[in-house]
Amino acid sequence: MNVGVLALQGDFEAHAGALQRAGARVIEVRHASELDVIDGLVIPGGESTSMLRLMEYYGLVEPLRRFGARQPVFGTCAGAILMATEVLNPPQASLGLVDMAVQRNAYGRQLDSRVARLSGHALGGDEEIEAVFIRAPIIRRLGEGAVVLATYEGNPVLVESGLHLAATFHPELSAGSRIHRRFLEKIESCAG
């Protein structure tokens, strides 16, 4: 299975490592043609405004929307912001793949980053999941039909919506690969 990682900006190398540990073949995506050879795509964390500008510059916005209409996409932190239908603080354009409103930098400056432990029950395990939050957004509204897989302080932080997964934290920075494996399972069930 070929899994793409959008490699314009941000921590795409960490995602590539986590996907390889979970058993995927990884392809770095910088051009629209690379979307033709992948089965699913990860949009990494980083800085969503810069990533959006680069997507526009490389003519990737529409190809990414078309890809997301038929194949699984997993966005983490800035990647989740880019997948939302609505971005707040400040408003900015996005791909609109997951019906949700996301507020950027929502924990404020005093909480630039933190590591939390979340229940892993929804992912089918008793072990907790480590969640690294870095200038993280908060999902303020989530469309009907989405499934919340993990919450932190009462807010959804890992959600599944149709083909897609979105996390407001950085699973690629933790040792386990359970969340990446979940994404690979989604790609497999989509292909099957």
Catalytic residues: 77, 170, 172
User: Is 77 within 8 Å of 136 (Cβ atoms)?
Assistant: yes
Near ligand GLN by CB under 6 A: residue from 21, 30, 135, 140? 135
What gap in Å lies between CA 85 and CA 68, rounded to an integer?
Answer: 13
Member of 46, 68, 72, 176 binding ligand GLN (CB under 6 A)? 46
**104 scored as a contact of ligand GLN (CB under 6 A):** yes
> Per rule CB under 6 A, is residue 105 in the interface with ligand GLN?
yes
Among 134, 138, 142, 173, binds ligand GLN (CB under 6 A): 134
- 94 belongs to the binding site for ligand GLN (CB under 6 A): no
Q: Does 86 bind ligand GLN (CB under 6 A)?
A: no
Planar angle of CA 38, 56, 145, nearest 5 degrees: 60
Q: Does 77 bind ligand GLN (CB under 6 A)?
A: yes
Q: Cα angle at 186 between 67 and 171, to 5 degrees? A: 95
Residues 81, 102: contact at Cβ < 8 Å?
yes
The partner residues of 42 in beta bridges, in order of sequence, read 5, 74
- Asked whether the beta carbons of 40 and 29 are under 8 A apart, the reply is no
Number of residues that bind ligand GLN (CB under 6 A): 11
Pick one of 14, 81, 84, 163: the residue that binds ligand GLN (CB under 6 A): 81
Residue 150 near residue 131 (C-beta atoms within 8 A): yes
x-or-dash pattern for ligand GLN, window 157-186, by CB under 6 A?
------------------------------
Closest separation in Å from C-beta 3 to ligand GLN: 19
Q: Establish if 6 lies at the interface with ligand GLN (CB under 6 A).
A: no
Q: Are strands 84-88 and 98-103 parallel, antiparallel or unpaired?
A: parallel
